Amino acid sequence: MMVKLFSPLPGLGLKNRIVMPPMTRHSTCAGGVPTPELANYYVRRAESGVGLIIVEAASIGCRASGSYVGGVQFHQPRHAESWGPIIERIHKGGAKVWIQVYHAGRLTTTEVNKAFPSAPSPLPPSPLESNFMVKRGDRFVHFQTGTPFPVPEEMTRADVEEVQTAFADSCRLAIEAGFDGVELHGAHGYLLHQFSSSLTNQRKDEYGPQGDRYRFVEETARKCRSSIPAGKVLSYRLSLHRVDMIFARYSSEEMDFQELAQRLEQYVDVYHCSELRAGFPMFGSRLSLSEEVRKATRHPIITCGEIKNRERAEALLNSGHTDLVAFGRSLIANPGLVEMLRSGDMKGYVKFEHEKHAARLAV
């Protein structure tokens, strides 16, 4: 049977297959609380017909966990209280809503958190110019603070326990706030991704490549699952690329997506595959990321990456490799994208331009 973009996905309670993925806007008040503009940004997309909204990466409650000045935080009662009314408005608009939680690991600076970064191993980010990391003279610096990325401290076993507990606490708080689910950010080079890759995890203990580099992620997912009641979703986001290494080459010896998915299978309900171009083979592989993950799971898969029209979205849905499609930048630039997709009239489609749309939070 052909899967249509506007067909429901009953198992997740979604009215259609359209997802708004987490896209960091670094637009909060002091302490990581959402501004009215940020709230309106999400509510507008819910009212426009998006089936699922995943709120941008929110840092957990331990030192140096955030990667952005003005980034969302989610680890205190006041954070839950600030999101409660927004969740109600999103639900009233007809969408389900999850929140993504993360720890930056090495992808941050002292100035962002007023604390020194820590990571699986004392390895700095790869020096690669991007929107996140800009080159000034002979140095690569954080795009907001203008300061270099230090060599992080290697996490101790006490740090490991603290971070895992903080992830679980944020998951519990998210459900109390009214979110329908939580996504663990295991992509784009942040802490969970760092532990999973032998390029960024060179520890000599049981959490390293010589022991079990997936152990940290599996333990974290298990603790988060135990903090989320039945009927609420735990999602895990994956990617090959990192913000400090966009054109990464796939190697199962460095990070095996099938093995990782198998290890998470009993704890995770959904896998979210972030691809540079959804459905296209990863660099160094004959398979796309979603194809690789599908080999290990029958759980629903979200796919995102340069999906801009209904034809492409439905081709992906009928490939057998994905169940939901996420429109990222297109939804920033086009609040009315869902109706465009429904009607097939894309004449008003606006191409995303980073600077042009960076401040358009409430439209």
**Active centre residues (catalytic):** 190
What residue type is assigned to position 304 of the chain? C
Contact 186, 237 (CB under 8 A): yes
> How far is 295 from 257, CA to CA, in rounded Å?
9
DSSP strand E in the chain: where? 18-20, 52-59, 72-73, 96-102, 118-119, 133-136, 139-142, 153-154, 181-185, 233-239, 270-274, 301-304, 324-326
DSSP annotation of 61: S
Burial class (CB in 10 A: 0-12, 13-18, 19+), 345: exposed
Task: Give the tokens for residue 21.
Answer: 């993925």
Contacts of 160 (CB under 8 A, 6+ apart): 207, 216
Q: What are phi and psi of 8, to 5 degrees?
A: -75, 165
Radius of gyration of the chain (CA): 19
> What is the DSSP code string of 229-265?
-TTSEEEEEEES-BTTBTTPPP-TTT--HHHHHHHHT
Greatest C-alpha distance within the chain: 57
SS3 readout for 105-140: CCCCCHHHHCCCCEECCCCCCCCCCCCCEEEECCEE
Contact 50, 338 (CB under 8 A): yes
